[in-house]
Amino acid sequence: MTSAFNDKACDKCEFFDPVMRGQTSSGGVRETVWGWCAKRSKYPAQEGPGQRFPAGVTRLPPGELGQPFIVRKGQVVPNCTDQQPRTARLSKADLLKQLQEKTKGGRVLVQ
């Protein structure tokens, strides 16, 4: 249940879509302190290279630019009625462990 008064930070919300940036020393990307509110933003029709939009976002027609509603980690939008607690997410290491358990310890080959 949501209320007109929100006291939860945006990064604790299910709809916080973090902006990813640059290369880390290990060759990956990292989250920034900024993110799109997936509920209030309008996303482009297609993802760019390496992007994955959250399920159920509003997409604009092809050729139109996205219209982001940018929020910051720790920011509270007081009158947000869309705030939903973030569901637990597994790390990549936990996901790999689960996959190995399902394959009974067999080797997982990535193509």
DSSP letter at 92 equals: H
pLDDT, position 92: 65
pLDDT digits (tens, 9 = 90+) for 60-85: 999 999 999 999 999 999 889 999 98
Would the pLDDT of 42 be above 90? Answer: yes
**pLDDT value of position 91:** 65
| Predicted pLDDT at 12 | 92
CA 108 → CA 27, 78, 90, 100, 111, distances in Å?
A: 21, 46, 18, 7, 10
Residue 53: closest CA among 61, 43, 63, 62: 43
Count Cβ neighbours within 10 Å for each residue of 37-56 and write b for 16 or more, e otherwise: bbbbbebbeeeeeeeebeee
The answer, yes or no, to whether residue 52 has pLDDT greater than 90, is no
Structure tokens at 57: 């976002």
Query: Which residue did the predictor score with more confidence, 23 or 58?
Result: 58
Structure tokens at 50: 């390496």
pLDDT at position 22 is 74
Strands (E) in the chain, as ranges, are: 16-21, 30-37, 42-43, 58-59, 70-72
By DSSP bridging, strand 70-72 and strand 30-37 are antiparallel
Lowest mean pLDDT among 80-84, 92-96, 104-108: 104-108
Residue percentage of the chain with pLDDT more than 70? 77
